């Protein structure tokens, strides 16, 4: 049972049920849909990027506790971050989940999302944890594409 307690921590179960970010934004700059067909995780992420900063983000959808908590914690982390910083953190998170961290990585930068590190021991759940982060990466690209003054670039996370 102890490893289940490591997985479904109080923090993760609470975030999985949090309603704080479950809403629609006024005038989002990008809306992106993320889906894991085999298990049914299904989220729609809305972001508002202003002057290269993620001013606001929200999501709606259904999915397992891991996918929902991961989404909620990601939004907590990302609001107020620059797009460049966000993409660096997305890459860091995905490498953490895939057990591909380097010596100089500091997962404390991921704040509460760092508690999802244990997912790296559960191959069947990796896609649940990374869904929101991949979706945000696409949303950032989408937002940039909506802005004529910027040329979209493919992110690290889009490799997944």
Partner 1 sequence: MKNDFPILSNGKIAYLDNSATTQKPRAVIDAVQKYYETQNANPLRGAYRWSVEATQKIEDARKKIAKFINAKSASEIIFTKNATESLNLVAYSFGRENLNLGDEILISIAEHHSNLVPWQILAKSTGAILKYIRLDSHGNFLEPDINSKTKIVAVTQISNVLGIKNDLSKIIERAHEFGAVVVVDGAQSVPHLKTDVQKLDCDFLAFSGHKMLAPMGIGVLYGRKKFLESMPPFLAGGEMIEYVEEQSTTFADLPHKFEAGTQNVGGAIGISTAIDYLETIGFEKIESIEQDLLDYAIPKLRDLKFIDLYGCDVENKIGIIAFNVKDVHPHDVATILDKNGVAIRAGDHCAQPLHRFLNLNSSCRASFYFYNTREDIDRLIDALKNVRKVMRLE
Is residue 35 involved in binding partner 1 (CB under 8 A)? no
Is residue 40 involved in binding partner 1 (CB under 8 A)? yes
* Contact criterion met (CB below 8 Å) for 127 and 24: no
Please report how close the Cβ of residue 118 comes to partner 1 at its closest, in angstroms.
Answer: 12
d(CA 3, CA 67): 18
**CB neighbours (10 Å) of residue 127?**
19
Between CA 87 and CA 92, with CA 90 as vertex, the angle to 5 degrees is 110
Helix (H, G, I), strand (E, B) or coil at 52: coil
Is residue 47 involved in binding partner 1 (CB under 8 A)? no
Supply the angle between the helices 65-78 and 83-97 in degrees, to the nearest 10. 150
Please report how close the Cβ of residue 16 comes to partner 1 at its closest, in angstroms.
Answer: 8
Stretch that binds partner 1, among 22-30, 74-82, 120-128, 146-154 (CB under 8 A): 120-128
Of 60, 45, 31, nearest in space to 143 by CA:
31
Tell me, residue by residue from 62 to 101, as one string, x for binding to partner 1 by CB under 8 A and - for no binding: xxxxx-x---------------------------------
Which listed residue (31, 42, 142, 160) binds partner 1 by CB under 8 A? 42
Positions touching partner 1 (CB under 8 A) are 1, 3-5, 7-8, 10, 13-14, 37-42, 62-66, 68, 122, 124-125, 128
């Amino acid at each position: 049972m102890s490893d289940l307690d490591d997985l479904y921590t109080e923090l993760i179960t609470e975030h999985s049920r949090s309603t704080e970010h479950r809403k629609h934004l006024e005038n989002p700059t990008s809306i992106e849909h993320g889906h894991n067909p085999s298990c049914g995780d299904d989220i729609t992420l809305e972001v508002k990027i202003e002057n290269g900063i993620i001013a606001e983000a929200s999501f709606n959808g259904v999915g397992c506790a891991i996918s929902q908590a991961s989404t909620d914690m990601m939004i907590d982390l990302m609001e107020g971050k620059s797009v460049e910083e966000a993409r660096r953190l997305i890459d860091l998170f995905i490498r953490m989940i895939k057990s591909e961290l380097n010596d100089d990585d500091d997962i404390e930068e991921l704040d509460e999302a760092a508690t999802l590190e244990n997912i790296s021991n559960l191959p069947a759940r990796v896609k649940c944890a990374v869904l929101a982060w991949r979706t945000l990466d696409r949303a950032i690209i989408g937002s940039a594409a909506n802005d004529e003054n910027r040329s979209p670039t493919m992110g690290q996370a889009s490799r997944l």
